[in-house]
Chain A
Amino acid sequence: MMENNHFQYFPHTEADIQTMLRKIGVGSTDELYQDVPAEYIYKGEYNLSDAKSEQEVRDFFKSLAEKNLSLKCFVGQGAYDHYTPAVIPYITQRSEFLTAYTPYQCEISQGTLRYIFEFQSMICNLTGLDVSNASMYDGPTAAAEAMRMLLGCARKKNTVLLSATLLPHVVEVVKTYAKFYGTNIQMIDAKDGQTSRESLEALMQSGDVAGAIVPLVNRYGIIENLEGFADALHAGKALLATYCDPSTLAVLRTPAEWNADVAVGEGQSLGVPLGYGGAYVGFMACRSEFMRKLPGRIVGEATDAEGRRCYVLTLQAREQHIRREKATSNICSNESLVALWVTVYLSLMGPQGLKEVNRQSSEGAHYLYDELLKTGKFQPVFDAPFLKEFVLKPLVDIEALQLHLQQKGFFAALATEDGYVSFCVTEKRTKAEIDALVAAIKEM
C-alpha cells in the first residue's frame, strides 16, 4: 500500500491517490500491476542509500569533487581547453531550451528549430560545404556515421579507408562500427607524421573503396597537406571525408577548399568545457548532392499558413521513425543543447574572435615547443606546420615525467602510442603558466 512520503517531485496527496484509484476502479496501485506475473514484482528492499536532502547531496558531491586532482591542462588529443564565454551557460540553462523534447511540434518549438538552423548554417560556413545536419553524439561517432554514409553513396563497395594519423579514439570507434556493419577498413599509412598519398593510391587499386576519412589536423597536431587526395579518390569513384577541429577552420584551408565531399568532427573545441569527455557534439556536413544520404535530424525553412517564415524538421524520410531499418542511421536524440552551446559561442566570437583564439593558441604552442626543446629533455619528431598541438620525443622516462608534472599541478606530456609525448596550448594558458610548466620540466 502506498503512502505519501513527502517527496518534493511527487505531488500526490493520499487523498489524491484515493480519488484516482476510485476513478480507475481499483483498490491500490499494486492492483495496476495485476497483469505482471507476481514473481516479477520486486519485494525486496532496493540496495540504494537513504534518500538525501538537497544540502546532503551538495555536500556529498563537494566531497567527491575534492578527491580529484585539479590540474592545469596542456593536453588536447581531441578535447581542448578553450575559453567559455559567460553568456553561454546563461542561455543554455533557459528552461525553454533545456527542458524541451526534440521539436516534433514545430508550432511551439521555433526556438529549438531556429537555433538548429543557425547551427547548420554556421557549420556550412566553417566547412565550406552545402548541407549540415543538426548534430551527432561526438566526433568519433560522426566519423563512424561518415563511414556508413560513404558506403551509402557508393554502389556495391565495401571498403572504407582510414588515415593512420586520425586520433586514436576516432579510429577505434569507427572500427567498432565497421566490425559489426561488416565493413572492410583499410588503414592508409603515415609517412613523416602525415597521411601518405602513395599509400592511398595503392589502396585504391582494389576498386572496392567507397571513400576515405582523413584528418585536416592530425593526431600529432600536424596540419596535413591533402593536395591530390580528392582527385585520387574521385578518379576511383570514391569520396573524401575530412575529420576536422572546427575551431581551426577559421584560419585553415576548409574541407570544401580541399575538394572534400563530407566533413565530420568534434564540436567541443567551440567553447564546450572539457567535462571529463562529454557532453560533446559531433557535426557532419556534405555537398548538396549527398543531402538525402545524411544521417540524423535536419531543419529546413518553411512558411506557415499566414506566409510567415518558420522552421521544421525536414527530409524525415531518411530517418528511423519513418524508415525503420532502411533509415540512413539509427540516431534519434543527438546533442541539441550542445549544438546551441556551439551556436552561441560562434555568435559571440564571430570571425575575428575565432581567428584570435587560433592566433593566441598557436603562439602559445610554438613558444612552448621552442622552450621545451631548450630544456634538452626532448627531441623534435616531425618538421611540419602545426597550430596548437604537437608531439616531441622525450629523452627522459615518460612515466616519471608525467608523475612529476602531476605533482606540480600540470596535465601535460600525454604519452602517444608511438612513444612520443603530446602537448597542447590554448588561449586560456598564459605565458606565465607556460613558463611554469617549462620550469617544472627543467627541475626534473
Chain B
Amino acid sequence: MKYYDKLILELSKPGRTGYSLRQNDSCTTDALASLPEWGKRKTDVCLPEVSEVDVVRHYTNLSQMNFGVDTGFYPLGSCTMKYNPKINEEIAAMPEFQSIHPLQDKNTLEGIRAIFDEMDHALAAITGMSHFTFLPCAGAHGELTGLMIMRSYHMSRGDLKRTKVIVPDSAHGTNPASAAVCGLEIVEVKSGENGLVDVESLRPLLDDTVAGIMMTNPNTLGLFEREIKQIAELVHEAGGLLYYDGANMNPLLGVVRPGDMGFDIMHLNLHKTFSTPHGGGGPGSGPVGVCEKLVPFLGVRVSGYNGNFPVILRAYTYILMLGRQHIKQAGRLATLNANYIKESLRDAYKLPIDSVCKHEFVFDGLKEREGENHDELPTTLDVAKRLLDYGFHAPTIYFPLLFHQSLMIEPTETESLETLDDFIRVMHLIADEAHTQPELLRTAPHNCPISRPDETTAARNPKLRYE
C-alpha cells in the first residue's frame, strides 16, 4: 500500500467535465429559467470539475490505501469478516432487479415476491423463528425494530408499565443505544467470574416493569450462555420477552436455532453471518424474526421502502449455494478455527477465561514473562498496530469492556489452516518483539500508508470538510 495525498476537490479545474448526457432532446424552453427567483440557488454549487479518467485514477489510488477481506485475513471480533462470494455480486447487480421502482405494483413483481417469501422461509428454517421483516438496514436497526416489536406486544395487551429492558454488561454497545432510542430504560446485569450472565444477579431484576432481555449467545467473549434455558424460563415467567442479538449467530449457523432456545425476537446481520460484503460500513441488512405470537407486530415501518434489497439478494444467493448439505459445517468450522487460534496463542497472550469458545474469543493483552509487570508491556493497541505491518487486519480491540486490554479474535470458517498458522506465527513474533523491542510496537505501524495519527487534536479542532 502506498500513500496518496489528493482529495478529488483538489483535482478540480474550471470547465473540465466527467459526465455524459444527451445533447439535444429539448421538450420545451429552459424550465430552469422560469423558476421563481425566491426558489433559486444563489451561488453555483462547489463540486469537482474533473474528467472521467481523473475520477477513475483518484478512486483507484484511494482503494489502494484500503484493506478488505479480499486483501487478507481480517480477524475482527464480532464482525464475522468471512469471504464474500463473487456470485453474490453478480446476482445483486442484475439489471432486471436494479431497474425496479420500489412502489411498482407488487402484482407485477412475482419474481421479487418469491425471493422475499423464500428468503423468509429459509431464515425461519435456519433460526427456528416464524417469520421475518426485511426492512431494517443494519444490525442496530434490527435491534431497534425488534425492541419496537417487543414494546408493541406489551402495549397491545395494555401492559404499559413494561418500560425496562435488561442488557448484560458484555453486550455490544448498540444494545443499550437501541434500547434508549426505543424509549426503554436500561437495566444492566453483571457477568459472573466465568464471563456468563449470572442467574442470581438476574433474578432480582425481573418484575412486571421488565419488557424483556437482550441476549447475545454466544456472548461477546465467545462463550455460550449455558444457563439460557433457566434464563428464558425466568424471563418468560416474569412476563418478559427474550431478544437475540444475531451479531454472534455465525457459530450457531447449522448447529443451534435461537428459536429453540426460547428466543421470541431476533435479528440477523446478513452482512456477517450470510456473507454479504460490509462495504466499509454498510449497506448491511438486519432482518428481524419473531415467534408465532409476535407475527402480528412484524409490520413496524422502520425504513422507507423494502429494505436493502441487493443485500438480501446476496444473502439468498449464499443460502442457495450452502444448501442443506453445507450449512451444518459453517458454524462448526468457524468454531474450530477460533479454538485452534486460542489454543495456539494462549502461551503468549493472557486468556482471562479458560473455556471452550465459539466463533471468537478474547485475550486480555500480552502475557507477562517472569519478572515483568503486565501494565508495563506494550498495550493491545500496540499489538494491533504491529499486526498491520505484517499484512493482517487487527482484531477488535478494547471490547468487550470487561477487561482492560481486550483483544477479540474471530477468524470465521472461510480461512484455511495455512492462513491461521501464518497469523499464529506472526502473533508469536509480535509477542517476542514486545518483550525484546517494545518500542517497535509502540511506534507501529511502520509500513502502512500512514503512521499513527494524532486523534486527540483531530477531535479537539475538528476539520470535517474540505474548504
Contacts and interface: CB of A to CB of B under 8 A. Distances in A.
B323 A48 contact: yes
Given A96-B71, A117-B7, A347-B18, 10 more contacts: A11-B414, A64-B115, A105-B393, A108-B445, A278-B307, A330-B180, A353-B17, A355-B32, A385-B34, A385-B35
Given A105-B384, A110-B449, A300-B464, A431 B91 contact: no
B429 interface: no
Interface stretch (B132-140, B288-296, B433-441): B132-140
Given A148-B181, A250-B45, A257-B42, A274 B87 contact: no
Interface in B66-107: 66-71, 74, 76, 79, 81-85, 87, 89-91, 93-94, 96-105
Nearest to A348: B18
Contacts of B416: 11-12, 16
B27 A49 contact: no
B224 A36 contact: yes
A277 B310 CA distance: 9
Given A107-B385, A325-B176, A40 B256 contact: yes
B71 to A, nearest CB: 6
A37 B74 contact: no
Nearest to A106: B453
Interface residues of A, number: 207
Interface in B294-342: 300-311, 313, 317, 319-330, 332-333, 335-337, 339-340
B68 A98 contact: yes
Interface stretch (B202-210, B238-246, B271-279, B363-371): B271-279
B191 interface: no
B200 interface: no
Contacts of A397: none
A290 interface: no
Indicate the member of A121, A273, A333 with the most B CB atoms within 10 Å: A333
Contact of A278 (B48, B84, B283): B283
B41 A251 contact: yes
B25 to A, nearest CB: 5
A155 to B, nearest CB: 19
Contacts of A337: 277, 279-283
A335 B285 CA distance: 10
Given A93-B89, A280-B304, A303 B40 contact: no
B5 interface: yes
B232 to A, nearest CB: 11
Indicate the member of B22, B183, B308, B388 with the most A CB atoms within 10 Å: B308
A40 B56 CA distance: 52
Indicate the member of A101, A117, A135, A329 with the most B CB atoms within 10 Å: A101
A330 B20 CA distance: 40
Given A141-B137, A300-B462, A346 B47 contact: yes
A334 B138 contact: yes
Interface string A361-387: 011111110100000000000000101
A406 B105 contact: yes
For the complex of A and B, the 7 pairs showing the least CB-CB separation, nearest first, are A277-B305, A51-B323, A277-B102, A337-B279, A111-B66, A367-B27, A99-B68
Contacts of B451: 107, 304-306, 308
A279 B137 contact: yes
Given A37-B226, A280-B304, A94 B99 contact: no
B335 A33 contact: yes
A306 to B, nearest CB: 6
Interface in A209-224: 223
B125 A278 contact: no
A73 B101 contact: yes
A206 interface: no
Indicate the member of A9, A16, A346 with the most B CB atoms within 10 Å: A9
Given A64-B111, A300-B464, A431-B25, A359 B85 contact: no
A276 B304 contact: no
A198 B223 CA distance: 59
Interface string A186-203: 000000000000000000
B443 interface: yes
B157 interface: no
Contact of B304 (A63, A141, A322): A141
B138 A180 contact: no
B6 to A, nearest CB: 9
A431 B27 contact: yes
B323 A52 contact: yes
Given A32-B336, A42-B256, A50-B323, A366 B27 contact: yes
A253 B63 contact: no
A275 B148 contact: no
Contacts of A278: 102, 137, 283, 303, 305-311
B458 A176 contact: no
A88 to B, nearest CB: 9
A261 interface: no
A160 interface: no
Contacts of A110: 3, 62, 65-66, 449-450
A50 B104 contact: no
A205 interface: no
A67 B114 contact: yes
Nearest to A301: B463
Nearest to B20: A85
Contacts of A274: 98-102
A251 B40 contact: yes
B179 interface: yes
B111 A334 contact: no
Contact of A96 (B28, B64, B319): B64
Contacts of B96: 65-66, 68, 70
Nearest to A64: B111
Given A97-B68, A333-B281, A302 B28 contact: no
A28 to B, nearest CB: 9
Contact of A358 (B32, B81, B413): B32
B335 A29 contact: yes
Interface string B116-160: 000001100110100000000111110110011001000000000
Interface in B14-28: 16-22, 25-28
A96 B49 CA distance: 25
Contact of B324 (A45, A64, A300): A45
Given A11-B415, A52-B323, A96-B68, A101 B79 contact: yes
Given A79-B102, A253-B39, A29 B55 contact: no
A366 B31 contact: yes
B109 A225 contact: no
B432 interface: no
A350 interface: yes
A249 B102 CA distance: 23
B44 interface: yes
B66 A90 contact: no
A110 to B, nearest CB: 4
Given A176-B302, A349-B18, A108 B49 contact: no
Contact of B55 (A61, A83, A347, A365): A347
Interface string A245-267: 00001111110010000000010
B356 A32 contact: yes
Nearest to B281: A336
A299 B281 CA distance: 13
Contact of A9 (B83, B178, B226, B281): B83
B173 interface: yes
B251 to A, nearest CB: 9
A435 B103 CA distance: 23
Contacts of B417: 11-12, 16, 19-20
A346 B300 CA distance: 34
Indicate the member of A121, A357, A370, A431 with the most B CB atoms within 10 Å: A121
A103 B313 CA distance: 25
Contacts of A85: 18-20, 52
A424 to B, nearest CB: 10
A444 interface: no
B19 A348 contact: yes
A65 B42 contact: no
